[in-house]
Amino acid sequence: MISIDFTLNGRLSRIDVPAHWTALDLLRDGLALNGTKYGCGEGVCGTCTVLLDGEPVRSCLVLASRLRGRAVLTVEGLHRDGEPDHLQTAFARAGAVQCGFCTPGMLLSARALLASNPSPTEHDVREALAGNLCRCTGYTKIIEAVLAASAGR
């Protein structure tokens, strides 16, 4: 077992996990934070995306030990005082969620984009979400939602 101190959704946390666990194993099986999904397990689908020090990463491809001393943001940390944040609201309004399995990863990739580029073009949004696969929506509504959130709508 290895001991990991890190900041999880704004709170200092400590957890002991087996050395071969990934960040995704830690979140889902160690902490029961099941918002972050296990999709392909090889970094392609993007549904396990979380933010590590503000940058999107595949939690299925990051060993848990790499979280030490760093800040992790998962979909559970997006809300504002229990209410959906502006991106979540924009996704709901635009109809950007169908089955919902890709949504946590989409939200976090979009969050990282808007943090570094508050007024993205449609092309910027497409590039930022290129690694997040959705098999339901055809992406149109998701891109509309991110653009709406960036415009404060």
Partner 1 sequence: MRLRPFALAEPESVREAVEILARPDGDARIIAGGTALLPTMRLGLVTPDRLVSLHRMPALSGIHVDKGVLEIGAMTSLAALARHGALRSGWPLLAQAAGRVATPAIRSTATLGGNLCYAEAASDPAPALLCLDAQVRLADSVGERVVPIGEFFTGFYETAVAPGEILTGVRVPAGPTGARSGYLKFCPRSAEDRPLIGVAALLVLDAAKRVDEIRVALAGAAPTPMRARRAETTVKGQELTDRAIRGAADAAAGEAEPLSDLMGSADYRRDMIRVWVRRLLTALRDGRPSP
**Listed ranges 55-63, 74-82, 88-96, 143-151: which one lies at the site for partner 1 (CB under 8 A):** 55-63
* 139 burial level (CB within 10 Å; 0-12, 13-18, 19+): middle
Closest CA to 26 of 65, 52, 55, 53: 65
Beta-ladder partners of 142: none
- Residue 6 in 3-state DSSP? strand
Closest CA to 60 of 131, 112, 127, 9: 131
Q: Does position 71 bind partner 1 by CB under 8 A?
A: no
**Residue 82: CB minimum distance to partner 1, A:** 28
Nearer to partner 1, 61 or 136 (CB): 61
**Residue 32: CB minimum distance to partner 1, A:** 16
Q: Does position 2 bind partner 1 by CB under 8 A?
A: yes
Tokens for 9? 């959704």
22, 36, 74, 150: residue in contact with partner 1 (rule CB under 8 A): 22
Q: 75-114 mask for partner 1 (x: CB under 8 A)?
A: ----------------------------------x--x--
- Exposure string of 61-99, with b = 16+ CB inside 10 Å and e = fewer, is ebebbebeeebbbbbebbeeeeeeebbbbbbeebebbee
Q: Does position 136 bind partner 1 by CB under 8 A?
A: no
Binding residues for partner 1, rule: CB under 8 A, are 2, 18-22, 25, 38, 41-43, 46, 49, 52, 55-58, 60-63, 65-66, 109, 112, 127-128, 130-131
